[in-house]
Amino acid sequence: MYQFTALNQRLTLTFVLWLFAALCTGQVNPPVAIKSAPKNDSARTAVLEHADVFAGSTVTELPAPNLPPITEAVRIATGNVKFVDGSTTVECDSAVQYSLSKKIRVVGNVKIVRDTVTIRGREGFYYEQGRRSVLQDSVSLTDQSVILNSQSGTYFSDEQKAVFSQNVSMKDSANLVLSDSLIYYRALQKSVVIGRVRIRNFSDNVLITGGYAEHDIGRSYSFIEQRPVLTQIDTTNKGKSQPDSLVIRAMKMEAFRGKADTAKRVEITDSVRIRRGDLTARSGKAIYFTDQNELLLTGNAIVWYQDTQMTGDSVRVVLRQTSGPQGRRSRIDKIIVLRKAFMTSRDTLDRTGKKFNQLSGREKIVIAFDDSSRLQRAEVFAEARSVYYLYDGLDANGVNVASGDRIVIGFDSSRVSRIAIYKGVEGDTYPEAMATPDARNLPGFRWRASERPEDESVMPPVKPAPKPKEKSNPRKPKPDAALPKKPAAAKERPRAFPP
């Protein structure tokens, strides 16, 4: 309590004299039960529980440019200030409490607590109606496993909603989220993320960037759109001109990493473009299984690896990841082309650029790679057919066309070194001069190098927002009009959940 001894003594003496006079005249009413605090929010007032020094005064302010000024009584408190508003406590270095507008101007080491939520900042306002906190400068909100940071933040305590802007970061048990602005729905454990979005998952080291996202903390689910880009960095290739990091671009991405999900994955939809080292791909849809390090491409799927092209109804790219003293390393282990499978490789000895070694199969083609990610083996299943060119040294020596139930081809330095055909074997070898166009190409052959994504089309992730500079000098209390202007709030448009 406050130490105003002389004042308290005078008030006590006055009360005793009044009480004695009232007893003599019979003006004292009998005791009554104390009524509970009014339920009307406008009638509730935050109680000043402690301050080193406080004083009363009046201020006159303009509520808005076109409205007349308002004069109201205020209480100015400094030093270890603490207000209590129901289950909410407000602490700061200094404060001004407005009696009419039901707000408290708070400055210096601001700390507002309700339930498990603690919001901090350098300065701002606490509005008693709705228990709304509006803070500026180094704002943070902690709620159990969730930590929010930004330069500007508003927390609607009764609605359990936070609106943060300017260099926002949100960390939960599984992800780090960065953005320009963020709306956090505490009761739902969900958030809407807007502007320069970056979501990094701690377990799989996957970073997804975009313009808009919705993040469900409880389900470990994220929805990202507006030019999303997925990046998974291969830490052993730092400094290389062409690192083996996985980069995927599309129109929409959804990450499923919850305990209820059968497989942890990122589903990628519409105009998918992929690059990882010498591998590029495009498709209508893709799924990246993060635990298995596998990519499944569907919808006009086509994959290029160096001078080899693979197409089919769907394509699986299997990556093998290892950890060593230099960090994580991943390489291509195998590529599986399913149904209507076709594999085409440009003949590296051909000077005309018109010769292509080809494989096709009705069921699938399985392409295996060695530890250096070089072609090692290709196996074709069901109605397997092949075309490969023969050479005598560096001189062209014809073309071999073969078919069977299964074909197995071995490679040495990306050149065909051996071939084996099983069951129903048929084949012909044509001299160079007699090789007709029909003999040179299998049905369905189509070289689609012009559709191969360029480096510019597989966009790199957005650069992170710069970290705010720390300010060492605390500022004095300012009237409402002098507060830093809050940036325009991003439009709320949650797709999967209501506010």
Distance (Å, rounded) from C-alpha 39 to C-alpha 24? 37
Poorest-confidence range of 40-44, 151-155, 281-285, 455-459? 40-44
Residue 247 has pLDDT above 90, yes or no: yes
Is residue 414 assigned to a domain? yes
Is residue 135 assigned to a domain? no
Give CA separation, 166 vs 136, 158, 161, 190, 298, in Å.
10, 24, 17, 19, 39
For the chain, the residue count is 499
Is residue 423 assigned to a domain? yes
Residue 33: band (very low, low, confident or very high) from pLDDT cuts 50, 70, 90: very low
Distance (Å, rounded) from C-alpha 341 to C-alpha 337? 5
Distance (Å, rounded) from C-alpha 367 to C-alpha 407? 12
pLDDT in tens, 280-329: 999 999 999 998 899 999 999 999 998 899 999 999 999 887 666 555 66
Amino acid 374: pLDDT: 86
What is the CATH number for 381?
2.60.450.10
Is residue 302 assigned to a domain? yes
Average pLDDT over residues 423-448: 84
Amino acid 392: pLDDT: 81
Classify strands 294-305 and 308-324 as parallel, antiparallel or unpaired: antiparallel
Average pLDDT over residues 76-96: 95
Poorest-confidence range of 16-20, 112-116, 205-209, 427-431? 16-20
Distance (Å, rounded) from C-alpha 81 to C-alpha 65? 32
Residue 462: band (very low, low, confident or very high) from pLDDT cuts 50, 70, 90: very low
Residue 13 has pLDDT above 90, yes or no: no
Average pLDDT over residues 32-50: 57
Q: Dig out the tokens for 407 from the structure.
A: 């074909």
Residue 19 has pLDDT above 50, yes or no: no
Is residue 131 assigned to a domain? no
Residue 352 has pLDDT above 70, yes or no: yes
Is residue 173 assigned to a domain? no
| Residue 430 lies in domain | 272-462
Average pLDDT over residues 213-225: 94
Residue 36: band (very low, low, confident or very high) from pLDDT cuts 50, 70, 90: very low
Q: Burial, 227: exposed, middle or buried (Cβ in 10 Å; 0-12, 13-18, 19+)?
A: middle
Q: Give the total number of structural domains in the chain.
A: 1
Residue 79 has pLDDT above 90, yes or no: yes
pLDDT in tens, 355-365: 898 999 999 99
Residue 256: band (very low, low, confident or very high) from pLDDT cuts 50, 70, 90: very high
pLDDT in tens, 402-423: 999 999 999 887 677 888 999 9
Nearest Cα neighbor of 133 from 147, 115, 114 is: 114
Residue 115 has pLDDT above 70, yes or no: yes
Residue 216 has pLDDT above 60, yes or no: yes
Residue 454: band (very low, low, confident or very high) from pLDDT cuts 50, 70, 90: confident
Average pLDDT over residues 184-198: 96
More reliable by pLDDT, 1 or 326 = 326
Amino acid 497: pLDDT: 46
46 with 128: CB under 8 angstroms?
yes
pLDDT in tens, 147-174: 999 999 999 999 999 999 999 999 999 9
Amino acid 260: pLDDT: 86
More reliable by pLDDT, 216 or 436 = 216
Residue 351: band (very low, low, confident or very high) from pLDDT cuts 50, 70, 90: confident
Which pTM does this prediction carry? Answer: 0.78
Residue 492 has pLDDT above 50, yes or no: no
Is residue 211 assigned to a domain? no
Amino acid 280: pLDDT: 94
Residue 458: band (very low, low, confident or very high) from pLDDT cuts 50, 70, 90: low
220 with 258: CB under 8 angstroms?
yes
Percent of the chain surpassing pLDDT 90: 54
Give the chain's mean pLDDT: 82
More reliable by pLDDT, 395 or 240 = 395
Is residue 336 assigned to a domain? yes
pLDDT in tens, 220-234: 999 999 999 999 877
